[in-house]
Amino acid sequence: MSEVNLMNQNRIPIYEALEKFLKNDPISFHVPGHKNGMLLKNEYPDLSRFLTYDVTELSGLDDLHSPDGPILEAQKLLSDYYGTRRSYFLVNGSTVGNLIMILSAFNAGDKVLVQRNCHKSIMNALVLAKVIPIFIEPRIDENMFVPEGVRKSIIKAAYNQYADVKGLVVTHPNYYGMTSYLEDIINIVHQHKGVVLVDEAHGPHFHLGEPFPKSAIDLGADMVVHSAHKMLPAMTMGSYLHINSNAISISKVEYYYSVLQSSSPSYPIMATLDIARHFIANFNEEDINYTLSQRNSFVTSLCKLEGVEVVNRNMKQDPLKLIVRYKGYSGYMLQRMLEEENIYIEMADPYQVVFILPLLKKNMVYSYSDALIKIKRVFEKYKPKSNSLKGIVVESDDKISSLSLLYEEMEDRSIEWVPFRYAENRIAAKMIIPYPPGIPTILPGEVITEEKIRLIKKYIEMHAKFQGETSRLLNGEIAVYI
């Protein structure tokens, strides 16, 4: 376990090592080719200053794949803050964290429960691990038209149906900041001697405690991935991987860690991962209160604007995920309107947009006031409309499903595109994901039913967006295995 109370969370080892290195005015006869930014100094001076931190594994700067200096200390500080068995820096994003989790926790042929509306990196990891996924489908929130978290009743039902399940892969929270009954779910899986892997990409700040939802680490998940770049001040692709129980093999994790991560890790990314840990580890109650007061003031001002609705949920939700609607306009339209005033939100769906708000230390100034001026300008130009948006009709019953083909059986199979009317009872060859609700309606390897075809047609009629080869789908064709 971590060295509780022995580590100084005010240290920033990687950043300190880089600063010490750069003070010596080093001359580069090594990679990378920009030579400490020197080659770009005249034409791109601002970029050149940043590139001085983009170095390689030099004396005193340690090696991510065999750390014994500042990188090792930085990862120990990370583990110490979160209270984990072991924690690691990821420079290839949470995508590589999800791959490492699944490949190290399960063996080929294992049955694994998987939340159906998971990130595509989890789907890819299932294929690489050659496990047998048992998909569990969350219900759809009737107000927001997006999937809620997984319910404990469906986990119990899945174990009644598949007694030899080895574990669960779940997402917590979802993109909208909504959480599920994760503690109960973890307890159920552990009672069946399984492991719980959590993609907590949007929740690295949950360890702060109230008013944020509880972290999967604190709730007892066996492995957790955090996207430090999503909610903490780390560079894009900077993430954390945590081992949180003795049920996980450290040697297997570190094997896949070395195989899947770049052999030339980015020092700027690692430095900001170190800084992000320092930032959150030294976040205190005054900072939390200040963050919330700034957030609440912004929300109050938004709600005073005619036609604006800030969607609140009864279930536990991250207060830094702000879900906003504007009467008579789709989320996509609202997004385009805001961008006319250079307000850029995280995402939009047919009904709403999502603002991701910042964690602020006391007295930090953020551009809330400027944002409100610009937002008011938008709504003066685009008045609210009386018409309301009709929701897409989706099924909301919990479901458990499996594939008709093993992943290895799909590897060399040929595919063809067939009209909807000929697709029933064929085996799907490609994933079809409508947004919303963001749950795959069809997965490769599962049988296409009349019910699923009817549902896809509904989505198309409602002008839902799809991932993948949408042109053929919108022309009424589905890819199937021959």
10-56 pLDDT per residue, tens: 999 999 999 999 999 999 999 999 999 999 999 999 999 999 999 99
pLDDT at 390: 63
User: Dihedral, CA atoms, 340, 341, 344, 349, nearest 10 degrees?
Assistant: -50
Q: Where are the alpha helices (DSSP H) in 192-266?
A: 228-231, 250-260
The pLDDT tens digits of the residues spanning 285-301 come to: 999 999 999 999 999 99
| Total number of domains constituting the chain | 3
pLDDT at 461: 80
Please tell me whether residues 330 and 364 are part of one structural domain: yes
Instruction: Report pLDDT digits (tens) over 168-206.
Output: 999 999 999 999 889 999 999 999 999 999 999 999 999
- Position 146 scores a pLDDT of 80
Q: 79 is in which domain, residue-wise?
A: 1-86+261-283
- My answer on whether 299 and 362 are in the same domain is yes
Model confidence band, residue 3 (pLDDT cutoffs 50, 70, 90): very low
Distance CA(369)–CA(347), nearest Å, equals 21
The structure tokens listed for 444 are 């490769």
Would you give the DSSP letter of residue 110?
Answer: -
CA quadruple 56, 57, 58, 60: dihedral, nearest 10: 120
Query: Quick one: pLDDT at residue 327?
Result: 95
Q: Examine the domain organization and report whether 4 and 78 are in the same domain.
A: yes
Q: Do 75 and 14 share a structural domain?
A: yes
Give pTM, 2 decimals.
0.92
Domain co-membership, 290 together with 377: yes
Mean pLDDT confidence for 69-91: 98
Domain finish residue from 327, 346, 381: 381
Nearest to 277 by CA among 92, 75, 90, 93: 75
**Same domain membership, residue 408 and residue 341:** no
- Does some domain include residue 56? yes
Q: How far is CA 231 from CA 87, 163, 203, in A?
A: 18, 37, 7
User: Does residue 212 sit within a domain?
Assistant: no
Residue 441 lies in a domain: yes
- Of 468, 433, 432, 435, which Cα lies nearest the Cα of 348? 435
Same-domain status, 320 and 373? yes
**Domain limit, last residue, from 253, 283, 313:** 283
pLDDT of residue 2: 41
* CA–CA gap between residue 130 and residue 109 (Å, rounded): 6
pLDDT at 395 over 60: no
Single-letter amino acid, residue 436: P
Distance CA 418, CA 76 (A): 54
Tell me the H-state helices in 107-181. 120-129, 152-161
**Count of H-run helices and E-run strands, the chain:** 17, 16
- Residue 391 binned pLDDT confidence (cut-offs 50, 70, 90): low
The whole-number pLDDT of residue 303 equals 96
- The phi, psi pair for 433, rounded to 5°, reads -125, 105
| Assigned domain for 252 exists | no
What gap in Å lies between CA 402 and CA 164, rounded to an integer?
A: 14
In a domain, 389, yes or no: no
Instruction: Please check whether residues 271 and 332 belong to one and the same domain.
Output: no
The span from the CA of 233 to the CA of 190, in Å, is 34
Task: For residue 411, give the CATH number of its domain.
Answer: 3.90.100.10
Residues 310 and 368 in one domain: yes
Pair 371, 292 in one domain? yes
Instruction: Name the residue type at position 67.
Output: P
The predicted-structure confidence for 438-457, as pLDDT tens digits, reads as follows: 778 889 999 999 988 988 88
Order of all β-strands in the sheet with 132-137: 86-90, 239-243, 223-226, 195-199, 165-171, 111-115, 132-137, 399-402
Q: What distance in Å separates the CA atoms of residue 35 and residue 55, rounded to the nearest whole number?
A: 9
Task: Give the CATH number for residue 363.
Answer: 3.90.1150.150
Say what percent of the chain tops pLDDT 70. 95
Residues 266 and 303 in one domain: no
Asked if 2 and 82 sit in the same domain, the reply is yes
Please give the distance of CA 414 from its chain centroid, rounded to a whole number. 32
Span between the terminal Cα atoms of the chain, in Å: 52
Kindly provide the residue ranges of all beta strands, DSSP E only, lying in 125-230, ordered along the sequence: 132-137, 165-171, 195-199, 223-226
In a domain, 105, yes or no: no
> How does pLDDT run across 220-265, given as a tens digit for each residue?
999 999 999 999 999 999 999 999 999 999 999 999 999 999 999 9
> Do the domain assignments include residue 335?
yes
Is residue 68 a part of any domain in this protein?
Answer: yes
Comparing 315 with 369, the larger pLDDT belongs to 369
What count of residues does the chain have?
482
